[in-house]
Amino acid sequence: MKYGYYPGCSLKGISVEYDLSIRNLFQRLGVEMEELPEWICCGTLAAPSTSRLLGLATPLWNMAQAVRAGYEQVISPCSACLYHFKAAQHKLHVEPDLHPEVEAVIGLPLNGRPKVVHPLEVLSATEFEAVIRRSVVQDLSGLKAVCYYGCHISRPARVMQFDDAENPQSMDRLLRWAGIQALDWSGKVDCCGANFSLIKPAVVIDLGRRIFEAAKAAGAEAIVVACPMCHANLDTREQEIEAKFNTHYGMPVLYFSQVLGLAMGVPESGLGFRKHLVDPRPMLNTKCRCFGS
C-alpha cells in the first residue's frame, strides 16, 4: 500500500530537516509514500478558535482531497496537524448532525475516511522490528537519549487511539531496535507551550526549562522528538533558557527520523543535522565518528 503524505507547513519551512530525514528514512525502509497533490494548512488552533465550522472544514478539506486522490492512509509527521485531522474526524463521528454542514462548505463528499497516522505508528508496528534491526549499519549503542512525545501523538486517547497517552513507548521501542539507549524519564508527555513561542516566549522558555531539566536529571545526552513544534520550541529556545537561568545543557534536540537514519547509514546530507541551532554533530561524533573530526 502506498501512503499519502501530508508534510504540513512547518516541514516546508522551519523544520525542513524533518521532511528530509523522514523521506530518506522511509525510502531506506521501503515504505512508499507520495505527497498529497493538493493540501492547505490544517488550521491548527487558530481556525477552530475563530469559528467552529472553519475549524472543522479546514482539516477535513485536506482529508477529502486525500480520498479523492485515492489514499486509504495518510502519514502526518506533525503531531499538531495529526491531532487536528483526527479531532475533526472524531467530532463528526460523535456529532453526525454536523456532517451536511461541513460537506456543504467543502463542496466534496466526506464519504470514506482516510486513516491518518503518525510515522511512529507506521514504523513501531511489530513487523518492522526485524526490518529495522537488520538495517542498522552504525553502532550508536553509546548514545543515551530520552524520547519526548509532547501532546498529541497519543493524547487524548479517545481521539488519537495510538500508544499510551500517559506513558507512550513507540519511539522508545524504535530507538532500542536501532541499538540506541532510550532512557525512562518524567517529561515524555509534557507540553512545550506550542504557539506561545510566537505569542509570549517567556511561557515557552519556562516550560522548555522543565523539559531540559527532566532530561538532564535522567542522564540524557539528547532529546529525541517526533513533532516540528516540539523541536522548534526546544532547539530554538535552548540558548535563551540557558542564559536566563544561568545554566548549561548543550543538549541537542533530534528528530527520531534523524537518529534512525543515522543508524541506518543515511548520509548527513539526507538528515540535515547542520540545520539545528544546537549542533548535534560534536556529541554524535563521540559516539560514532560519523562526521569526520
Partner 1 sequence: MSFTQEVEALSGQRVNLCFQCSKCSSSCPMADWMDLKPAQVVHNIRLGREQVVLNSAAIWYCVGCETCTERCPQGVEPAALMNAARVLAVRKGIQPRIPEVAIYYRGFVDNMRLFGRIHDVSLVAITRLLAGHLFDDLPLALQLLKRGRLGAPPLPTEGTSFRRLYGHVQQREKALR
- Contact residues for partner 1, defined by CB under 8 A: 9-10, 12-16, 38-41, 43-55, 57-58, 61, 83, 91, 94-95, 101, 104-107, 151-152, 155-157, 165-166, 189-191, 193-196, 198-201, 203, 206-207, 236, 240, 274-277
Least separation, in Å, of the C-beta of 141 and partner 1?
Answer: 29
Least separation, in Å, of the C-beta of 40 and partner 1?
Answer: 4
Q: Nearest to residue 265, comparing CAs of 85, 27, 54, 73?
A: 27
Burial degree of 269 (CB within 10 A; 0-12, 13-18, 19+): exposed
Least separation, in Å, of the C-beta of 282 and partner 1?
Answer: 16
Least separation, in Å, of the C-beta of 209 and partner 1?
Answer: 12
202 CA to centre of own chain = 23
The CA distances from residue 29 to 7, 50, 82, 158, 202, in Å, are: 18, 41, 22, 30, 40
State which residue, 196 or 291, has the beta carbon closest to partner 1. 196
State which residue, 177 or 273, has the beta carbon closest to partner 1. 273
Q: Which residues pair with 145 in a beta bridge?
A: 182, 222
State which residue, 16 or 110, has the beta carbon closest to partner 1. 16
Beta sheet of 115-117, edge-to-edge order: 33-35, 3-5, 73-75, 115-117
State which residue, 132 or 194, has the beta carbon closest to partner 1. 194
